[in-house]
């Protein structure tokens, strides 16, 4: 009995029908994902349709959601299983099928590469002004609350709390410092305006936050929109409260309080990852074709200084020519401030080599297979003629 | 030799000579060496080109055609540009502004009649109102404008272009360049110089010895420099004489001054002169327009051949197709040499190249199967894609490449491969359409022909799967090289993946026996929809890293195309002669 069901399942998982249905589902997902990029942005659309096991949907304004479509990860997984099963079931180990073997192994590798990058790829950015030295990359999609001890003018001590932690805890201790933070209210996204005389009083008792009116807003997944992450916190040290402060990405200048001779600056900023090396922007160039506004070239001349390796050298980063260094790729993404600020996109993807191997396998496989088929078809025609 | 053998040769050679004839320079017009003036090199849009290219592209944008009918005569773009720059009072009476929008016509106090072309004189009293309306509409995103707003902005931009070209070499309504040169340091001249500098559409004065290679100057810029005491450019004096001579219609003086100016340019920038000379030949030959005409002839011939004298007309049609392909190929080769870039650099050239790929594949099919179907689909694909290309040509089709695209290696590998993939998918679709029509129209469809057509489509689909897959992966590698990630689900990448997936589905459906001949052919027609969506539809979304090929007007054309393809798919699924089943007459 069990054998019968197992056989049925095996036949199903290795069937051509499943291949075609999965490919068609994948096509639909690609279509949805492309169209959804207009309202959601690439990151939001990819997370919703491609890097998920199920696509969820709920009516606007309500809290319940239901799965309505298989997601890209699920379809990719089924396709991989189907590919493996049908390869073993149908493909004989003969030279005539060598091409198809290569194609299918290559495809399995390609799908797994996408899983690897979905899980491990990190996209950050680095904004450097001319003459500035930067030793961190920022992730503009996740925020952190930074309490920075700025007492020593030579070096800062940074205590960072991820926004995700602020969202779910009411008190956060900062290890290595005497301070504990009471989280009064956290806003993933908010709109900040000047508080009018008729508005209710602000939660903040200290700093600029006291004169700010804050209203919660829905979170946007579009990478072109910035979420104004904001939080009301109360720093407490040695049993003493330093008042309630409003920290927000929308507030420019950092605010600070002093405890036992140490000055602590409070700010919300994109999450930083510090690097064991630093980049200095020596010059950013933006050339145009003569007499037009068509960009001819963007380039950043940077100096890498890595004290642990005793390395200090100049690198020119320009279009189609990124810097690959210590597992990260820095490429020219944008610029600003009248061509004095260069924005580098920084990508870390440990699986970057997989697609290269896969594409070589599939290309050779397709060539071999079609060559074999062409020879067979020509032979048949010849036989017919003679 | 029998006529059957001879006719294809005769027709082919005649067509080829007609093509060569078109590339010959025209003689003098009323004694004026128009051609000598039109081939002068200038710098515009970041590159050196002949004045002829600016004249043609401007007139094409303003009027929609490369010539004007005026006082019973046809005026070439070069003559029009000469009139506009040196005899503006004549040019203002030439009907060059095409206006179709009834509301815009109302704005200038005109009714919609059969004549849609208007002169600058007619527009002149309404320019202020036009500018006012355009300034309201311009800040609105192009996709969100109403029909009237788009039309008014469009007309205003054309009027402005006309105005700039008019005031490029000398200010209209002033005594002329010669007088300005004499009074170069006069106190009130500065304002005129800066107006000339700002309005100048192109830079005509080549860099002097010792200057940077791209330091071309406009007349206004040189006059501004002259006002500070620097000697004027040696080309300015003959240019002033050209202007004056054309203004009073003195052919001899005009020709002499043109020759003098040419001499100066040749001594300063000989390579610019020869480049301009080559490009003007290319402009005149219009190889892609000519190729389109020859493909239509081939298509008509093959249609007639199915009704009458097949053994004579089928090879003739094939000969015409070959000549069309030769003209098309030379056009592509000429473009590659002129631009110094691989064949596909923008949407326009991708259409030209898709057609070329389909034609070459079709020729191979015709050699293999010899049924006339290869000729028919190749001619139809060539014709169709060149028409699309004509509509995509907006201004200079050899514009400079934006920074991220500035890589000949990737343009030559990724872009060319993926475009060949498009060609293949479209050709398979065209074969499937031919199969559909043949199945319903042919009086006695033999199974063998049907099998041959399915075989052709199948082979071509395998070919396109290979090319679109390799092209997509090469695109991923380019993305990894320049952006640090192989795949980012960018709309254009998704579009390419779309084609790969669809071709893979067709092949698996055939291998598993889920789809038979009719199913495969219906799916192949749907391949046309998929390819057109990924080729153009993606650009209409306007998001992602690839959105440099944005277009706003082709939406309806694309929808219509998809509609027809869906209808054809329905037709393909239906049994033969669904509408008039006659009882077969049995003996």
Tell me what ipTM this predicted complex has: 0.78
DSSP secondary structure, B127-194, as one string = HHHHHHHHHHHTTS-GGG--HHHHHHHHHHHHHHHHHHHHTSSS-TTSS-HHHHHHTTT-TTHHHHHH
Kindly determine whether residue B46 and residue A37, on different chains, have CB atoms separated by under 8 Å.
no
Note the pLDDT tens digit of each residue in B490-547.
Answer: 888 888 898 999 999 999 899 888 888 889 999 999 999 999 988 887 777 655 444 4
* Same domain assignment for residues A193 and A269: yes
Closest-CA residue of A relative to B401 is A296
A363 contact residues in B (CB cutoff 8 A): 466, 469-470, 473
Instruction: Tally A–B CB contacts below 8 A.
Output: 160
Nearest to B507 by CA among A101, A20, A92: A20
The rounded distance, in Å, linking the Cα atoms of B140 and B135 is: 10
Cβ of B46 and A290 within 8 Å? yes
Give percent of chain B with pLDDT exceeding 90. Answer: 21
Q: Are B473 and A363 spatial neighbours (Cβ–Cβ below 8 Å)?
A: yes
| List of residues 6+ apart from B583 with CB closer than 8 A | none
Q: Give the DSSP letter string of B218-230.
A: -HHHHHHHHHTTP
Residue of B nearest to A50 (CA): B489
- Residue A256 shares a structural domain with residue A313: no
- CA of A223, closest CA in chain B: separation in Å? 11
- A35 to B541: CB separation less than 8 angstroms, yes or no: yes
Q: Are A101 and A191 in the same domain?
A: no
Together in a domain, A192 and A226: yes
Residue B187 structure tokens: 């106190």
Question: Do residues B362 and B375 lie in contact, with contact meaning Cβ atoms separated by under 8 Å?
Answer: yes
CB atoms within 10 A of CB A305: 16
Instruction: Give the Cβ contact number of residue B231 at 10 Å.
Output: 10
Confidence category of residue B411, pLDDT binned at 50, 70, 90 = confident
Which chain A residue's Cα is nearest to B460? A370
Judging contacts by C-beta atoms under 8 Å, the chain B residues touching residue A288 are: 46
Sign of the CA dihedral running B324, B325, B328, B329: negative
Q: Do B478 and A46 touch (CB under 8 A)?
A: no
Q: Which of B215, B412, B477, B543 to mutate to test the interface with A (most CBs of A within 10 A)?
A: B543
Domain ranges of chain B: 1-27+286-400, 28-270, 405-576
Q: How many angstroms separate the CA atoms of B533 and B544, rounded?
A: 16
Residue count of chain A, please give it.
Answer: 386
Q: What is the length of chain B?
A: 587
Same domain assignment for residues A342 and A359: no
Q: How far is B387 from chain A (nearest CA, A)?
A: 28
Please state, in angstroms and as integers, the Cα–Cα distance from residue B426 to each residue in A328, B31, B192, B419, B524, following that order.
Answer: 40, 49, 55, 11, 9
Q: Which tens digits make up the pLDDT trace of B355-403?
A: 999 999 999 988 888 788 889 999 999 999 898 888 877 777 777 766 6
* CB pair distance less than 8 Å for B497 and A30: yes
| Residue A194 and residue A287 in one domain | no
- B203 to A291: CB separation less than 8 angstroms, yes or no: yes
User: B212, B413, B489, B505: which to substitute to probe chain A, counting the most A Cβ within 10 Å?
Assistant: B489
Residue A291: closest C-alpha in chain B? B46
pLDDT surpasses 50 at B584? no
Q: How close, in Å, is residue A180 to chain B by CA atoms?
A: 40
Helix (H) or strand (E) holding A60: none
Contact A96, A376 (CB under 8 A): no
Alpha-carbon B331 to chain mean position: 12
| Spatial CA neighbour of B234 closest among B212, B217, B214 | B217
DSSP bridge partners of B586: none
CA pair distance A190, B572, nearest whole angstrom = 56
Interatomic CA distance for residues A135 and A279, integer angstroms:
6
Does A366 sit within 8 Å of B400, measured CB to CB?
A: no
Distance CA B532, CA B341 (A): 25
Which residue, among B400, B406, B539, B401, has the nearest Cα to B482 in the 3D structure? B406
Which of A289, A299, A356 should one mutate to test binding to chain B, selecting the residue with the greatest count of B CBs within 10 A?
A289
Do A50 and A146 share a domain, yes or no? Answer: no
Closest chain A residue to B482 measured between Cα atoms?
A: A320
Task: Quote the CA–CA distance of B434 and B377 in Å, as a whole number.
Answer: 7
Contact B501 A27 (CB under 8 A): yes
Q: Residue A312 to residues A304, A308, A309, A315, B525: CA-CA distances in angstroms?
A: 5, 11, 9, 10, 59
Instruction: Please give, rounded to a whole number of angstroms, the shortest distance from the CA of A300 to a CA of chain B.
Output: 14
Q: Please give the C-alpha separations between residue A317 and each of A140, B354, B408, in angstroms, as whole numbers.
A: 22, 34, 18
C-beta atoms of B501 and A30 within 8 A: yes
Contact assignment for A34 to B404 by CB distance below 8 Å: no
Measured between alpha carbons, how far is residue B506 from residues A83, A103, B503 in Å?
17, 16, 5
Angle at A274 between CA A273 and CA A276, to 5 degrees: 140
Best of A49, A320, A349 to substitute, by most chain B Cβ atoms within 10 angstroms, is: A320
Q: Do B473 and A24 touch (CB under 8 A)?
A: no
Nearest CA in chain A to B479: A320
Q: Would you call B482 and A296 a contact, using CB atoms and an 8 Å cutoff?
A: no
Question: What span, in angstroms and rounded, lies between the C-alpha atoms of A165 and B60?
Answer: 61
Distances in whole angstroms, Cα of residue A25 to Cα of each of A271, B6, B352: 36, 55, 33
Across the interface, whether the CB atoms of A355 and B476 are under 8 A apart is answered yes
- Please, is B513 exposed, middle or buried when counting C-beta atoms within 10 Å of its C-beta (0-12, 13-18, 19+)? exposed
Of B485, B486, B505, the CB nearest to A24: B505
Q: Is B515 helix (H, G, I), strand (E, B) or coil?
A: coil
Residue among A27, A322, A359 whose CB faces B498 most closely: A27
Q: Is there a contact between A370 and B476 if contact means CB atoms under 8 Å apart? A: no
CB atoms B473 and A27 under 8 Å: no
Structure tokens, B46: 């970041």
Asked if A204 and A295 sit in the same domain, the reply is: no
Residue numbers of the domain that contains A90: 2-121+355-385
Number of domains in chain A: 3
Q: Residue A285: list chain B partners with CB under 8 A.
A: none
Provide the whole-model pTM: 0.80
What is the pLDDT tens value at each position of chain A, 386 positions in all?
578 888 888 888 888 888 899 999 999 998 888 888 877 777 888 888 888 888 887 777 777 788 888 888 899 899 888 888 887 777 677 777 888 888 888 888 888 888 888 788 888 889 999 988 999 998 877 888 888 888 888 888 888 888 888 888 888 888 888 888 888 889 888 888 888 888 888 888 888 888 888 888 888 776 667 788 889 989 988 888 888 888 888 887 778 888 888 889 888 888 888 899 999 999 998 888 777 777 777 889 999 999 888 888 999 988 778 888 888 888 888 888 778 888 898 888 888 888 888 888 988 998 898 888 888 878 887 887 77
Give the residue from A273, A303, A322 where a domain finishes: A273
Interchain CB distance below 8 Å, B487 and A117 = yes
**Residue B496 in contact with residue B468, Cβ under 8 Å?**
yes
Of B406, B477, B488, the CB nearest to A356: B477
Please write down the long-range contacts of B244-247, taking CB distance under 8 Å and 24 or more positions apart: B244/B176, B244/B177, B244/B178, B246/B32, B246/B82, B246/B86, B246/B87, B247/B86, B247/B87, B247/B176
Query: Any idea which residue has 């020219």 for tokens?
Result: A332
Determine the distance in angstroms separating the CA of A139 from the nearest CA of chain B, rounded to an integer.
Answer: 16
My answer on whether A164 and A78 are in the same domain is no
């Amino acid at each position: 009995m069990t054998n019968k069901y197992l056989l049925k399942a095996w036949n199903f998982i290795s069937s051509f029908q499943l291949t075609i249905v999965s490919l068609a589902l994948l096509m639909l997902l690609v279509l949805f994902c492309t169209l959804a990029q207009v309202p959601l942005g690439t990151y939001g659309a990819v997370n919703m349709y491609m890097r998920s096991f199920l696509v969820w949907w709920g009516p606007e304004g309500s809290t319940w959601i239901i799965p309505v479509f298989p997601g890209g990860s699920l379809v990719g997984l089924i396709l991989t299983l189907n590919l493996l099963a049908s390869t073993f079931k149908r493909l004989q180990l003969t030279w005539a099928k060598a091409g198809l073997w290569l194609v299918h192994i290559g495809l399995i590798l390609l799908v797994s590469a996408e899983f690897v990058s979905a899980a491990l790829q990190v996209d950050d950015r680095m904004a450097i002004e001319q003459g500035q030295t930067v030793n961190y990359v920022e992730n503009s999609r996740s925020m952190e609350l930074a309490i920075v001890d700025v007492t020593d003018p030579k070096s800062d001590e940074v205590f960072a709390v991820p926004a995700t932690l602020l969202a779910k805890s009411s008190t956060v201790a900062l290890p290595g410092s005497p301070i504990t933070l009471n989280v009064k209210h956290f806003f993933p996204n908010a709109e900040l305006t000047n508080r009018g005389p008729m508005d209710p009083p602000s939660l903040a008792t200290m700093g600029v936050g006291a004169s700010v009116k804050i209203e919660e807003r829905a979170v946007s997944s579009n990478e072109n929109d910035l979420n104004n992450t904001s939080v009301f916190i109360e720093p407490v040290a040695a049993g003493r409260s330093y008042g309630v402060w409003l920290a927000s990405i929308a507030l420019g200048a950092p605010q600070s309080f002093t405890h036992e001779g140490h000055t602590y600056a409070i700010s919300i900023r994109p999450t930083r990852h510090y690097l064991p090396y630093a980049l200095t922007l020596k010059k950013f160039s933006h050339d145009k074709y003569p007499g037009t506004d068509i960009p001819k070239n963007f380039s950043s001349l940077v100096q890498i200084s890595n004290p642990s390796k005793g390395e200090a050298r100049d690198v020119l980063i320009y279009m189609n020519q990124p810097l690959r260094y210590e597992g990260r790729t820095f490429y020219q993404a944008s610029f600003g401030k009248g061509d004095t600020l260069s924005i580098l996109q920084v990508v870390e993807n440990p699986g970057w080599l997989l697609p290269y191997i896969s594409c070589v396998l599939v290309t050779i496989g397709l060539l071999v297979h079609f060559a074999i088929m062409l020879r067979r078809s020509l032979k048949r025609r010849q036989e017919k003629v003679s | 030799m029998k006529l059957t053998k001879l006719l294809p040769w005769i027709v082919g050679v005649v067509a080829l000579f007609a093509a060569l004839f078109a590339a010959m320079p025209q003689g003098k017009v009323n004694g004026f060496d128009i051609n000598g003036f039109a081939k002068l090199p200038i710098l515009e849009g970041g590159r050196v080109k002949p004045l002829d290219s600016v004249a043609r592209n401007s007139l094409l944008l303003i009027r929609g055609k490369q010539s004007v009918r005026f006082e019973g005569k046809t005026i070439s773009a070069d003559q029009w540009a000469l009139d506009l720059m040196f005899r503006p009072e004549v040019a203002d009476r030439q009907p060059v502004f095409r206006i179709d929008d009834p509301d815009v016509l109302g704005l200038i106090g005109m009714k919609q009649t059969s004549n849609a072309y208007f002169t600058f004189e007619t527009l002149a009293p309404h320019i202020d109102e036009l500018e006012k309306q355009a300034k309201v509409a311009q800040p609105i995103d192009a996709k969100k404008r109403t029909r009237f707003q788009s039309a008014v902005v469009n007309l205003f931009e054309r009027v402005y272009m006309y105005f700039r070209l008019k005031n490029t070499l000398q200010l209209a309504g002033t005594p002329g360049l010669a007088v300005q040169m004499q009074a170069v340091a006069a106190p009130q001249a500065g304002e005129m110089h800066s107006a000339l500098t700002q309005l100048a559409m192109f830079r005509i004065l080549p860099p002097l010895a010792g200057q940077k290679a791209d330091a071309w100057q406009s007349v206004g810029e040189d006059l501004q420099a002259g006002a500070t005491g620097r000697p004027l450019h040696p080309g300015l004096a003959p240019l002033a004489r050209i202007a004056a001579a054309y203004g009073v219609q003195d052919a001899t003086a005009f020709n002499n001054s043109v020759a003098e100016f040419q001499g100066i340019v040749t001594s300063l920038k000989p390579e610019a002169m020869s480049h301009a000379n080559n490009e003007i030949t290319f402009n005149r030959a219009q190889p892609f327009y000519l190729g389109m005409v020859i493909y239509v002839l081939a298509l008509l011939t093959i249609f007639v051949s199915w009704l009458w004298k097949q053994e004579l007309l089928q090879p003739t049609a094939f000969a015409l197709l070959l000549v069309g392909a030769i003209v098309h190929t030379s056009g592509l080769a000429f473009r590659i040499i002129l631009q110094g870039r691989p064949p596909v650099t923008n949407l326009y050239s991708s259409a030209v190249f898709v057609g070329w790929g389909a034609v070459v594949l079709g020729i191979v099919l015709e050699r293999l199967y010899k049924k006339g179907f290869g000729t028919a689909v190749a001619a139809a694909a060539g014709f169709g894609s060149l028409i699309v290309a004509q509509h995509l040509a907006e201004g200079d089709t050899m514009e400079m490449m934006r920074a991220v695209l500035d890589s000949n290696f990737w343009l030559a590998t990724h872009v060319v491969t993926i475009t060949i993939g498009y060609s293949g998918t479209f050709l398979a679709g065209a074969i499937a359409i031919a199969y559909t029509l043949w199945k319903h129209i042919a009086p006695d469809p033999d199974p063998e022909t049907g099998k041959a057509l399915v075989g052709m489509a199948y082979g071509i689909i395998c070919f396109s799967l290979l090319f679109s897959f390799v092209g997509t992966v090469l695109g991923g590698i380019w993305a990894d090289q320049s952006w640090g990630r192989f795949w980012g689900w960018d709309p254009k990448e998704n579009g390419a993946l779309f084609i790969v997936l669809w071709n893979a589905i067709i092949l698996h459906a055939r291998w598993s026996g889920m789809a038979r001949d009719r199913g495969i052919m219906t799916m192949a027609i749907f391949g046309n929809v998929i390819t057109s969506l990924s080729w153009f539809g993606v650009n209409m979304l306007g998001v992602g890293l690839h959105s440099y090929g944005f277009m706003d007007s082709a939406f309806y054309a694309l929808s219509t195309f998809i509609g027809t393809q869906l209808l054809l798919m329905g037709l393909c699924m239906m049994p033969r002669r669904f509408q008039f089943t006659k009882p077969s007459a049995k003996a």
